[in-house]
Structure 1
Amino acid sequence: MAADDDLMDVPSRLEQALAAMTNVELARLYRLAQYSLIGGTTYVNPKELFNEAVHRTLDGRRNWPPGEPFGAYIWMVMRSIADADRKMEAQSNELRANDQPVQDDFYQESDRLAGYGSSELAVDRVLENAAVQRRVTEDLQTIEDHFKDDQNVMLVIMAIEDNIPPRELESDYGLSITQYESARKKLRRYVDRQFPGRRTV
């Protein structure tokens, strides 16, 4: 009976959790969903994956333990759904590949060796790229820490990172174009002060 009570209470718990989420928190969940799609799944966008996770929670296929934070729970569910979907897709691709005629050994070997000798594989290039990536990550963390309490700027940062157009921010998160431009100017001023000569936004 207790399990039935918990299941019956899920819709109201979900409603409360979703209503309490800020736009930034929702955008972060969509970003996590986007990361889950890396590697190929049948889900075409992060919102579809997020909605599927919510749907499976509502119909009881996924159990949301009482007391577990919604963000952590739904992220785990999205990862699990995407992983399972990716495995099924890989199995389907393998079956389709097995139905294809076998290529000549020469061409198979050529395909395996195609990447060797590429300048992108040079040790110094790899180290250089890693150093640049590390610096970018550190700089971004500094910016996000500074604006962590400014919801509009955080939305703009996420939009820049994920190539989300301003109109989509307006339709999905209620951030008007005026608010967007104001937040972007604030971000630019801070970046100019913190990282002179390095702004690209």
Structure 2
Amino acid sequence: MGRPFVNPRSETGYLSSEELIGAFEALSPDDKLKLAAIEAIKVRGTRFAQGELVHEALCRALTADRNCPRDVPFMAFLVETMRSIASHDREAWRRTQALPDGDAAGSAEAASSAPSPEDDLVQREDAEAIRAIQDCFNDDPEAQLVLLGWQEDLRGAALRDATGLDQGQIDYAIKRIRMKMRKTYPDGWIT
């Protein structure tokens, strides 16, 4: 018998199952702490408990439900996969809350509340903008944690709890974010 997970996409453009496992095992203790902090932010409002979202992201990568391109840092791939899974889980939960059992009017209402093509485009553009901003801080894990917290509308004590950073670290990360954004986008963000 073979291994339980075999990635059928062994093209050279994506990491194989063995490479994914190796990349995960090669994560430093600091990277694993960052993953746990990011997961603590992302699991809010989902059915996932702490530790399950990272596991789910890895399983989806190993089963080729998600493929990690070779030119993308593994940590960034894992974080983006966790974000996507959590977002889909929250949306599925909202849909089930909007549908009363056996209510045809409720299902028609849910269908009419589906995002319009324009809303979908705005959401995709927002996701691309967020990714572009996060890419500016690949070398600054504290700034990444603050940005992820802001993305989840966390402020103050909630941001400190979710990131594991003290107020001084958060303030300094915010200062670095502002300076880098002014330098990178001197005329403001182009939409």
In proportion to residue count, which structure has more helix?
Answer: 1
Relative to the length of structure 1, the TM-score reads 0.46
> Which is greater in Rg?
1
Greater RCO structure (CA 8 Å; 6+ sep): 2
